[in-house]
Structure 1
Amino acid sequence: MAEYNSPRRQGKTDVKRAARLSVAPMMDWTDRHCRYLHRLLSRKTLLYTEMVTAPALVRGRALHLLDYNPEEHPVALQLGGSNPEELAKAARLGAEAGYDEINLNCGCPSDRVQSGTFGAVLMKDPGLVAECVTAMRSTIDTEITVKCRIGVDDQEPEDVLPEFLARISAAGCERVTIHARKAWLKGLSPKENRDIPPLDYDLVMRMKGLFPGLHISINGGIGSLEEARGFLEAGLDGVMIGRAAYHTPTDILAAADAVIYGTDEVSDPVDVVRTMLPYIEAHLASGGRLHQITRHMLGLFAGRPGARQWRRTLSEGASRDGAGPDLVEQALAPLQDGQAA
């Protein structure tokens, strides 16, 4: 890849502290370009990869799926799978690649994930999840965490979630992120599973009372830093934000280091775009396309004068042959000189 002037190197850090705020793993969204952008907005927030399946790494040897930029630290690899031995091998590959955390997906409800007997369907078999955690922990020193739902289908969350947490905790999992909704494996699409099942934040709070030694992050429907801070002040250890962090990244991440971690740093999205330009040039020089990066940048100025023109310029032009940094600068010009209508 061509050289570019990278931002200050993050390096290894206290992942548990970083997990006070994290950006959720989101398929087709949180790729390495998205994470690089998010890291420019926040130096402290914990970032997650899209889910990578253990079979793809172990059987398919698709090791390119582990590619990331060192600037992304702290960054966690999310794995999908249900075979303890295979997950252990995949976790080793992730640890060797330098990820700060390996996370097991027990929350995705898609049909494709169910057919592989992993994701949310694993909520039905906490013993197997515990075996998977044990196998991964026996293989590497990198921390193993779990992301789960409060239950699936006709399960009663008040009954199944404590058992699930007890089993994975006994297996050595010290951090868990709980999406505060059930997943309906039949009858709802993955998109509907993000909106239709009701949120039960109180149940997650009660789990912290039952498992005071377990680091618990809450996920689901959280749309602002103020909400995140409220959960932290109420006693939870961390907050994971998904769609809001993607669609309005400046609102969630630009002030996160100040609001959540107590630093003096607040990012300016105009400066972030300027810093992205060398990264874009390097990507194009290696054969990439502009839209592969700019699709993640569309929401940077959401709610601000000129945001619509910014989105339109990039959406219409970034996929064209020869599109490059000059298009980004064209889209940025009204926003940085105050001429936006």
Structure 2
Amino acid sequence: MSYSNATDFTNPSTFILLGIPGLEAAHVWISIPFSAIYAIVILGNFTILFIVKTEPSLHEPMYYFLCMLAVTDLLLTTSTLPKMLSIFWVNSREISFSACLTQLYFVQCFSAIESGILAAMALDRYVAICHPLRHSIILTHAVVAKIGLAVVLRSGIESLPFPFLLRQWSYCRTNIISHSFCAHMAVVKLACGDTRISSSYGLFVLFCVLGLDAIFIAISYMQILRAIFSLPTKDARFKTFWTCGSHLCAIVIFYIPTVFSSFVYRFGQNFPLHVHVLIGNMYLLLPPMLNPIIYGVKTKQVRGRLLWLITQKQSNVFS
């Protein structure tokens, strides 16, 4: 298919992903940090999964949710980054219409799952700090499994309208997507006719799914802070709050880029196009890369187990 800006079709057989518009000459160089990010994502999240599986003391709700987060990060990154790298490395820009909508669905679904898991982790922190004696009674293994299943079902269902709405539009302007993956608003902008329903549904999901998760997290932390400030000593308050440090960092690196990227796409017409694309890439790539690092550094049990594994390997090498 031609890379024409004047094609005439209802549903194109393929779309053309430009990668990072305006920076095509630097794609090979851009692929280096992106490849490093993918390697860190795979190594870091599989390490988290291995540590939790092999350490019985980590078989607790907090670490089960952490494993769910690691799996989600792996799937979210794998749904987009291999295609990005093929664009950067070998200029493989074509993606079929169905594959594009499938990728778009998975991006929306896994992003919503990540938001739901962060909300579930806030619940765990609330119960652990505000009701410590009832933590094991409230958050049993069965309850954790049901929460995880509910998050996946919710995210899968609310993401279904995205590809179905996009499939019904006519694409009579162009088949060129000025992005490195099939982002929702990047595809919506190619459609002809009145596409406000697609844009409005995207905002609905942003406010009523991610927004409700964020409100739930905020309420949980208001209760957590009340409990922390009621502790008798400054040292006790600091130690208790420190147990939330990893989760708070994960919240910041997920929600801020996600919300910022969504608003830039809709209202940031003055931003250069390559800035739009880089922001969209970062909101997908930074959380999966940083989450295992944050939890590896800040969580004592994970850090201790990781150091033990490293020293064991070193002793085996030199023995």
Q: Compare CA radii of gyration and give the structure with the larger one.
A: 2
TM-score > 0.5 by shorter chain: no
Normalising by the residue count of structure 1, what TM-score does the alignment of the two structures yield? 0.23
More strand by share: 1
Normalising by the residue count of structure 2, what TM-score does the alignment of the two structures yield? 0.24
If asked which structure has higher relative contact order (CA below 8 Å, sep 6+), I would say: 2
